[in-house]
Structure 1
Amino acid sequence: MKPLSALIIEDEWPARNYLVELLRDTGSFGDIAAVTSVEDAREVIERPELGIEVAFIDVRLVDRPGDRSGLDFARSLADLASPPAVVLATASAQYALDGFELGVVDYLLKPFTLDRITTCAARLLERRRPPPQGAARRRLVARKSNSLVFLDLDGMLAFQTVDRLTYVHHVDGVFSMDLSLNALGAALGSRVLRVHRNWLIAPAHAQGLSRLAGELIVEVGPTLRVPVSRDRAREVRQQLLENTVGIRQPG
């Protein structure tokens, strides 16, 4: 299997260098970018040719007491159309709930060990692995009134947040969900695409792109029209046009 590409944001050089060594010792990682600040991390993430698949992020930076800029950076990654998986790597367990709400893949506590990093690498690689033939079909579970509803993944059209509540638009209807968009994006991976702070769509059901009052709109399924935020418009358009033929695309 192709090695993982990783970004580490950690401003304590012993911890940073040791984590790089441990990642390499697992044999599961190829390119590793290690930086000390959020600003440097943003520059790495904004270079798509690096193909960063996972970000190991310290929550608090030692030169800014009380600062949570690492956590804020992790939260901002959800704004990307194809965000990397996030692993929080920190000295404190107090941010575990934040990690759950962000949908992080793993939560590593210092001091790091090779066994723990190897387990983390296995989880990351498992996210890549297609389900074996004959495996039980994975399904969504949502709420309708006081009941739970099980939904086929192939029928999901989009996910939306409204007033901090999450809804799934599905071929079988609209239902409420307990998870945040960040957590859903982490769980569903390439099956969904972030097009707006309040929207994830299933690219498999995208049926068209149009503009309304200067705003890019994705037509999903037969009736759903989803807005694309301006800062994501170019990336969303490029991803939806991948593996298509019929129009001339910019080089």
Structure 2
Amino acid sequence: MIAIAIDDEPIALDVVKSHAAKVPFIELAETFTNAFDALTYLQKNKTDLIFLDIKMPDISGIDFLSSIANPPMVIFTTAYSEHAVKSFELDAIDYLLKPFSLPRFLKACNKAHELYVLRNKPGSTDEVTSVFIKDGYEQIKVKLNEILFIEAAGNYTKIYLQGDSTLSTRITITDMLLMLPAKKFIRTHRAFIVARDKISRFDRAQININEHSIPIGATYAQCMQEFY
């Protein structure tokens, strides 16, 4: 995976460089102390992963990530814990609190690598018509055109199907999104993914699918603009 690191502190970048050099599947292509220089780089260069600081002088890491239309995977690296919830609303892979150890860094990189492999595996295209969902000890084939919406519910992800049936799985909602074709499904909230063709009506606050009302999170509101 090709990665970059953004942090206004050169010492912090040196730590990321040192750790990344020990991870065989990470190629740290560039480091930046200025987030706007990094933005210019991202517009011209393929990047799979960003190691991103949050507290920076000109723009926060949160605002930086929010400004990118189709961002790469992100691992936040910060000395502050209060932004953890917001970072995961933006689908961050992980949240590393400084100073972080090499084992903790490696754990975050492994999570990113698993998602990278899942996203790039053969057959993960918009032509997929079904997926296999693990339910207990079984793998259940689910046709995509039968899915109404998907909800993160505690330690489980709940899949709502036509005919008022449901299926629960331990697959995270982020991993589910990677398994599904983007032309057919859209994430509208940190806890919800909906089938585009099953939307009966919506406004700026919620979506209706049959009798179900599904919220639109503020972070994901822009994704609904194509329907306006």
Common fold by TM > 0.5: yes
Which blocks of at least 5 consecutive residues in structure 2 are unaligned?
123-130, 135-139, 153-157, 162-166, 168-179, 200-208
**Alignment deviations for residues 126-152 of structure 1 (CA, whole Å, 9 cap, x no partner):** 002348997636885249xxxx75249
Cα 1:90–1:155, aligned 2, differ >3 Å: closer, same or farther?
Answer: closer
Name the amino acid aligned to 2:25.
S
Distance 2:214 2:89 in 1: 13
CA contact (8 A) 1:6 1:53 kept: yes
How far residue 45 of structure 1 moved from its aligned partner, in angstroms, is 0.8
Q: Residue in 1 aligned with 2:14?
A: 17
Name the amino acid aligned to 1:45.
L
Distance 1:70 1:134 in 2: 36
Match of 2:75 among 84, 87, 90: 87
Match of 1:119 among 89, 93, 107: 107
Match of 1:168 among 194, 198, 214: 194
How far residue 100 of structure 1 moved from its aligned partner, in angstroms, is 1.8
Q: Aligned runs of 1:159-198 on 2, under 5 Å? A: 159=186, 168-173=194-199, 174=209, 176-177=213-214, 180=217, 197-198=222-223
Match of 1:42 among 39, 45, 49: 39
Q: Residue in 2 aligned with 1:28?
A: 25
CA contact (8 A) 1:155 1:171 kept: no
Q: Residue in 2 aligned with 1:188?
A: none
CA contact (8 A) 2:150 2:192 kept: no
Distance 1:33 1:23 in 2: 12
CA contact (8 A) 1:156 1:169 kept: no
Distance 1:158 1:172 in 2: 10
Cα 1:31–1:53, aligned 2, differ >3 Å: closer, same or farther?
Answer: same
**Alignment deviations for residues 86-127 of structure 1 (CA, whole Å, 9 cap, x no partner):** 111000111011112111110001012110111111101100
1:58 maps to 2:53: yes
Structure 1 counterpart SS, 2:184: strand
CA contact (8 A) 2:188 2:216 kept: no
Counting aligned pairs with the same residue, the percent is: 24
**Alignment deviations for residues 9-51 of structure 1 (CA, whole Å, 9 cap, x no partner):** 111111101111101112121242100011111111111xx31
CA contact (8 A) 2:89 2:219 kept: yes
Cα 1:154–1:37, aligned 2, differ >3 Å: closer, same or farther?
Answer: closer
**Runs (4+) of structure 1 moved beyond 4 Å?**
131-135, 137-140, 151-156, 170-173, 175-183
Match of 2:61 among 70, 83, 89: 70
**Alignment deviations for residues 210-251 of structure 1 (CA, whole Å, 9 cap, x no partner):** xxxxxxxxxxxxxxxx469xxxxxxxxxxxxxxxxxxxxxxx
Cα 1:127–1:16, aligned 2, differ >3 Å: closer, same or farther?
Answer: same
